[in-house]
Chains A and B, each alone.
Chain A
Amino acid sequence: MNKSRSMQTPLAAVRGLGSAKSGLHHWWNQRMTAVAMVPLVIWMVSLCILMTGASYQDALAIASHPANATVLILFVVVGFWHAILGLQVILEDYVAAEGLRLVLIVVIRMFAIALAALSILSILRVAL
């Protein structure tokens, strides 16, 4: 960048799209989903304890409570999102072959989204 002619500040250059072309977006989403997962995991572990040895009717009652169903859906969305981002970083770091890396990232993403959709459908079917 020609410093003498550009009106853009160095900060703006840093905040814009860097060499990775996606800026902070991926990194920031990973941190925010991580923060959200902390309370969600605590709630989910509590649900697992409540569900231990539960009868079908008990399990239905627990999963269909609006608060629990909401947390279940949030856990599925945020959890799979966090997993997609994390696995993508692992693949980017450790798979050298560009084609294979892209295929794996896309396959994992599609698989995770499909599993998330199926999970959400199941939660809604139980809760509604």
Chain B
Amino acid sequence: MAGFLIALASGPEAFAIAQLCVSHPLGQIALFGYSLALFYHACNGIRHLFWDAVIGLSIPAVYKSGQVAIVMALCLTAALWSVIYFVV
């Protein structure tokens, strides 16, 4: 992301190279992986924030929220890439 911002600020030539990198299949795979990691980290992070607020600390609730975090991360990633490939 920092690289993309730097490229945008550096001018059209640098921006074209950055666009080439992120649109290349390898770049797309990297971005897909990054988005999955980001969404999983966000969902599980929110789960931790609930724990910090003393919510959902029973063992069944912990297992349940863990499953919800994984499913949510997968759904958000699928939704993002569906929008990118089929809507935009």
B80 within 8 A of A: yes
Contacts of B46 in A (CB 8 A): 38
Number of chain B residues whose Cβ lies closer than 8 Å to a Cβ of chain A: 23
Contacts of B15 in A (CB 8 A): 56, 59
Contacts of B10 in A (CB 8 A): 122
CB closest residue in chain A, given B14: A56
- Please pick, from B8, B12, B42, B80, the residue contacting A63 in the complex, using a CB distance under 8 A: B8
- A123 shortest CB reach to chain B, Å: 6
Residue pair B52, A31 in contact (C-beta under 8 Å): yes
Q: With A41-B38, A45-B80 in contact, do A121 and B9 touch (Cβ < 8 Å)? A: yes
Residue pair A56, B16 in contact (C-beta under 8 Å): yes
- B-side interface residues toward A, CB under 8 Å? 1-2, 5-6, 8-10, 12, 15-16, 23, 35, 38, 42, 45-46, 48-49, 52, 80, 83-84, 88
Interface pairs A-B: 8 shortest CB-CB:
A122-B9, A122-B5, A125-B9, A119-B2, A56-B12, A52-B88, A56-B15, A122-B6
